[in-house]
Amino acid sequence: MTIQRLHSGARMSQAVIHNGLVYLAGQIGAPGEDATAQTKAVLASIDALLAEAGTDKSRLLQATIWLADMADFGAMNAVWEAWIGGADAPTRATGEVKLATPDYKVEIIVTAAL
């Protein structure tokens, strides 16, 4: 079985396609923006990568959401719920973590079926 990597660099690939699944790297928004703006940017990146892989958000299987501060949970969820649209929601876990820099508020990782 082949493994296809999208936007690969020395450290990581933005997406890996294997055995009917696409695994996305953690997506982040612009540093310094608020959680709402970062979540919107992250979901736009996810949409673009899924499309490039040949799938879309209706085929999401799992999402892991990391927040730098759980105080941003409501703001992130408002954007997430509008994006999901009340259907085809994947399994999901959300937790508070220390992200790469304090300028990042949200990081989302997803796996989808092709």
pLDDT of residue 43: 98
The CATH code of domain 26-113 reads 3.30.1330.40
pLDDT of residue 87: 86
The rounded average pLDDT for each run of 10 residues, N- to C-terminus, in the chain (114 residues) is 95 97 97 97 98 98 98 98 94 97 97 98
Q: What residue segments make up the domains of the chain, in order of their start? A: 26-113
DSSP per-residue string spanning 22-73: EEEPPEE--TTS-HHHHHHHHHHHHHHHHHHHT--GGGEEEEEEEES-GGGH
